[in-house]
Amino acid sequence: MAEFENEDSDGSDFEEFLGFEDVDEAEYSDDEYEPIDWELWLRHMFVNDDEEEEDDLGGGFEGFQTNWKTDNYHRNRRSAFNRTPGVKLDLPQDATPLQAFEKIFKEELWTHLVTETNRYRDQVEQTPTRAKTARWSPVTVPEMKTFIGICMGMGLLVLPVRRDYWRQSKNLFRMQFARNMSRDRFAAIWRYLHLQDNQAAVNRDDKMWKMRWFLDCLLAQFQALYEVDGNVSVDESMIKFKGRLSFRQYLPMKPTKWGIKVWVMAESATGYVTNFQVYAGLLEEMRTHAACGTVRANRKGLPKSELLRKKASLNKHEYRVAQMDDLTFCIWQDTKTVMVLSNHHDPTETGTVNRRKDGANRVPVVVPACLADYQKYMKGVDLLDQMVGYYGFQHRSKKWWRRVFFFLLSVSCHNAYIAVRG
């Protein structure tokens, strides 16, 4: 399941981020259920109140209910998840994370990195105004693997600047990088590391053109390696970057306030990333079977009854539920008012969440099933951020795409570990 919207985000374009695949109508043969175009419905539902409402919606909404009801609920349709979770590729039973990582960073990807790095160095050296560099030899695949391995090692032991990793001082020398690659060779590869031929005929309107091949390749390998269990969360993950960039984001509620925003779809239980998209001003769909998540109180189409509004003055842990077509809406009073919208939960179903009572131990509190499931499955991306944050490669770079590259390198390591260790 995926979140409709995280309340900490601006949420401006998030409605277009989720689409719904067609439900297998063989499972629902009752004549009373008509197929509903959920994508069309959501585009109508999630429009800010200050936007002008169209007078004529056309015939696309025939068959929809026009009012929310608080009783006489009908049975909601559930989309069955019919895929087998777990590793999809052929790996030994006792496989190591390194073996899974090699399924993500395949030889094709290493060759691409080496080719573009060497090509970029040649292009730079041909620039008339560029000072020539001394003693350069083309990078090889083994050298590139060593370079990336050292970058990973720098995430294990954080030192102020890169050159500190080659110091011989007893107080600073902790990792024997010099035995694998000299400081000057590492600096040279770092200088010319590249992902895309700058002179190639590519779509320059795509703001990700400098790393489009890498993004598409990595996403394909993530999905080929492992099948998630069907419960996923969709949220933004921030890559720290304060340089000049047209699509740099500012999210004051996030720990990393300035940077590059990446929409991530991650398995709720493990944080395995099965889909991602670097946000550059346009949003494409990540398709899900069903969605459940928080919704802002000012969204168009929510119940108008004062008993179901944010200022309904509910008692602590009191909730109310409404239904329209297969949409279930609930409002629940916790420390703050929480509003949840779902397209697959039955409004009569309930679950429990743990809350402290009078400062004592946590006790189960009965809530609607949609809210209980939202709390259970919402934290997949947060789990990912926590795991990659422990060992993230954080050295600065003026080139934005390098920040994205090393973030996705950390994600690849995390996915490889989850694939074999769960």
What is the structure's pLDDT at 286?
58
Among candidates 317, 322, 346, which has minimal Cα distance to 333? 317
Q: What angle do CA 142, 148, 149 make, to 5 degrees?
A: 85
pTM of the model: 0.75
Of the pLDDT bands very low, low, confident and very high (cuts 50, 70, 90), residue 54 is very low
Helix (H) or strand (E) holding 319: strand 319-324
What is the structure's pLDDT at 129?
65
pLDDT above 90 covers what percent of the chain?
21
What is the structure's pLDDT at 21?
38
pLDDT higher at 100 or 132: 100
Q: Is the pLDDT of residue 56 over 80?
A: no
The pLDDT tens digits of the residues spanning 103-159 come to 999 999 999 999 999 999 988 888 766 666 667 899 999 999 999 999 988 888 778
**Of the ranges 49-58, 282-291, 342-351, 353-362, which is most confident?**
342-351
Residue range 183-205: mean pLDDT, rounded: 90
The pLDDT tens digits of the residues spanning 6-46 come to 444 444 443 343 333 333 333 333 333 344 454 554 444 44
Q: Is the pLDDT of residue 217 over 90?
A: yes
The pLDDT tens digits of the residues spanning 233-290 come to 888 888 888 888 888 888 787 777 888 889 899 998 899 999 998 888 785 555 666 7
What is the structure's pLDDT at 112?
95
Of the pLDDT bands very low, low, confident and very high (cuts 50, 70, 90), residue 48 is very low
The mean of the pLDDT values for the chain is 78
What is the structure's pLDDT at 114?
96
Determine the Cα–Cα distance for residues 76 and 213; give it in Å rounded to an integer.
41
Chain center to CA of 160: 29
Among candidates 350, 378, 327, 246, which has minimal Cα distance to 73? 327
Cβ neighbours around 269 below 10 Å, total: 18
What is the structure's pLDDT at 119?
93
Residue range 216-235: mean pLDDT, rounded: 90
Determine the Cα–Cα distance for residues 277 and 263; give it in Å rounded to an integer.
5
